Structure 1
Amino acid sequence: MSDEWRDAFVLRARLRDVPGPRIGEALAEVETHCAESGETPAEAFGDPVRYAQALADQLPPPARNPRLGWARVALAGAAGIGAVSLLLSGVAAVSHDAPATISTGTFGSVLIGAGFVVGFFAVAERASAWGLRWLLPPLIAVGLVLTALPTILLRDSSFTSAGWVAIAAAGILFAVAWLALGRTTGADRIVDPRTGAEPALAPKWVLAMARYGPAAMLLLAVALVILLRPGDGA
């Protein structure tokens, strides 16, 4: 099975809330059929995105809300970007014994970032299906620039808060982002029913970053605050 076909299928199935075990079963079925027939997945099952959509349509009605997956992606993107902004502001504030400031541009970056994350996944599934995954790194670079521009250009302060409050709020937003991506990072794993193993759908370091990155960033932020904050007698 080609990586491009598999990745496009899995991405659309995830976005349509197909349970991980069902995705694993479908992948095993595709791989077994192709091994026996000598056909490619595209020849035997057609377009991976449409095949994943057909699989999702077989689920009971409560489990196949077509908007839920995209809404969750947008929420995760907005929460993640907002969390990073609050974390940086909070660390800088506590380290310099000053209030944390949130600018108008931060809100703009959150909205643009959420839209970009949704657009990225929409493009990613088609790029994988068409063998154009080389487009994704430059797309990410463009998205990061567009997301950062409002924060850079619109620096007027919207409100202020204590640094530790900003760090705590960042932790809450990280939790929201993690829960929004729970089907990808949580217990609903894709498992091959023949072997009980997880298919190598992404490099292990990518999955590790998704699962443990937010907690690591929070711990690093607290460590920096402890190291850099002014002394009591200063």
Structure 2
Amino acid sequence: MKIETHTPHIEPDWAEAFLLELRLRGVGGQRIGAALAEVEAHCAESGESAREAFGDPAAYAVELAPARSVVAPDVRRELGTSALGLGGMLLTLAAVGAWQSGARVEVTAGIAAVLVLVLVGTTLVVSRAEQLLRAVVRHWWVAMLGATLPIVLFVGVLLLGRQTVFTVAAMPAFVAGVALLAGSTARSIRTADTVGDPVVGPEGAGGAGTVGEDRVTRALERVGPWLFPVLTVVMALPLLLI
């Protein structure tokens, strides 16, 4: 997805790499906008390309912001919210299925193992947040592997670990699942409503350095908080109709 920085005299790939590196290093939106506007003004006046004038975008970003990145807290918050939503969805669906069959919710060895894997994976992602984010933004296949491998692993573990560890009544499990979904949704909405740190160029720069959001991004931001509840309802309907 192309990032529009309103800097027509800067090569688009240079501007994107420069912006992403500064973001990964924890630089604020206004400071990034000012840096982009400064590069744009120089290139417009001198006729040089950004690479000719400032060199490699990542290296120039390091010169401007040598301090260490501070992205881990945001990643930790998002992972925690997603874990709540995923747990609530799985528990609610298990409760609906058990209620339909007149049985109790069975917690198997596979489910317990998946929960442990989620905790371990979340810890690793948080502790290596900066390295993982760099890999994702630079190599599309890393994001694909990160999205598919855990699913394959979890399904395999669930299929192998079918031994029942303990059982829970359907209604308490359903209430707990809905509570987790509500908590995840509330956290997502609160995060979405929080004023972010948009990249904005300085006044008098004619909009240079200001990154505009596209319609897809705005739509995803609105739908995102309701993703797990919607998925739960869609997946529960076939169980209720059986």
TM class by shorter chain equals 0.5 to 0.7
Note the alpha carbon deviations across 1:121-154, whole angstroms, 9 max, x for none: 22245x3xxxxxxx41x32222222222331222
Q: Write the distance in 1 (CA, Å) between the matches of 2:189 and 2:176.
A: 20
Normalising by structure 1, we get a TM-score of 0.67
Residues 213, 108 of structure 1: alpha-carbon distance in 2 compared, 3 angstrom cutoff: farther
Report the alpha carbon displacement of residue 72 of structure 1 after superposing the two structures with TM: 2.9
Name the structure 2 match of 1:68: 70
- Of structures 1 and 2, the one with the larger relative CO (CA 8 A, separation 6+) is 2
Report the alpha carbon displacement of residue 23 of structure 1 after superposing the two structures with TM: 1.0
Report the alpha carbon displacement of residue 226 of structure 1 after superposing the two structures with TM: 8.3
* Structure 2 residue 157 is matched with structure 1 residue 154: yes
Q: 2:30 aligns with which of 21, 26, 41?
A: 21
Q: Write the distance in 2 (CA, Å) between the matches of 1:84 and 1:104.
A: 18
Correspondence list, 1:46-195, <5 A? 46-57=55-66, 66=68, 68-69=70-71, 71-72=72-73, 74-76=75-77, 78-79=79-80, 81-96=82-97, 97=99, 99=105, 101=107, 102-109=111-118, 111-112=120-121, 115=125, 118-124=130-136, 127=138, 135-136=139-140, 138-155=141-158, 156=161, 162-173=173-184, 186-193=195-202, 194-195=205-206
Q: Write the distance in 2 (CA, Å) between the matches of 1:158 and 1:190.
A: 50
Q: Write the distance in 1 (CA, Å) between the matches of 2:36 and 2:135.
A: 22
Normalising by structure 2, we get a TM-score of 0.66
Q: Write the distance in 1 (CA, Å) between the matches of 2:186 and 2:25.
A: 22
Report the alpha carbon displacement of residue 176 of structure 1 after superposing the two structures with TM: 5.9
Which letter does structure 2 place at the counterpart of 1:205?
V
Which letter does structure 2 place at the counterpart of 1:212?
R
Q: Write the distance in 1 (CA, Å) between the matches of 2:177 and 2:131.
A: 29
Q: Classify the secondary structure of the residue corresponding to 2:48.
A: coil
Name the structure 2 match of 1:206: 217
Residues 214, 26 of structure 1: alpha-carbon distance in 2 compared, 3 angstrom cutoff: same
Residues 207, 119 of structure 1: alpha-carbon distance in 2 compared, 3 angstrom cutoff: farther
Report the alpha carbon displacement of residue 78 of structure 1 after superposing the two structures with TM: 3.3
Q: Write the distance in 1 (CA, Å) between the matches of 2:74 and 2:33.
A: 21
Which letter does structure 2 place at the counterpart of 1:88?
M
CA contact (8 A) 1:13 1:23 kept: yes
Residues 158, 203 of structure 1: alpha-carbon distance in 2 compared, 3 angstrom cutoff: farther
* Structure 2 residue 46 is matched with structure 1 residue 43: no
Which letter does structure 1 place at the counterpart of 2:83?
G
Name the count of aligned residue pairs: 210
**RMSD of aligned C-alpha atoms?**
3.8
Identity %: 25
Residues 43, 91 of structure 1: alpha-carbon distance in 2 compared, 3 angstrom cutoff: farther
Q: Write the distance in 2 (CA, Å) between the matches of 1:158 and 1:181.
A: 38
Note the alpha carbon deviations across 1:77-125, whole angstroms, 9 max, x for none: 6335524532430341343236485431243245446638654422245
Q: Write the distance in 2 (CA, Å) between the matches of 1:227 and 1:153.
A: 25
Which letter does structure 1 place at the counterpart of 2:40?
E
What stretches of structure 2 of length at least 5 have no aligned partner? 1-9
Note the alpha carbon deviations across 1:185-232, whole angstroms, 9 max, x for none: 8431111333458424x74413542x234322144246548856759x
Report the alpha carbon displacement of residue 17 of structure 1 after superposing the two structures with TM: 2.1
Q: Write the distance in 1 (CA, Å) between the matches of 2:189 and 2:134.
A: 20
Q: Write the distance in 2 (CA, Å) between the matches of 1:5 and 1:120.
A: 21
CA contact (8 A) 1:109 1:148 kept: no
Task: Point out the structure with max Rg over C-alpha.
Answer: 2
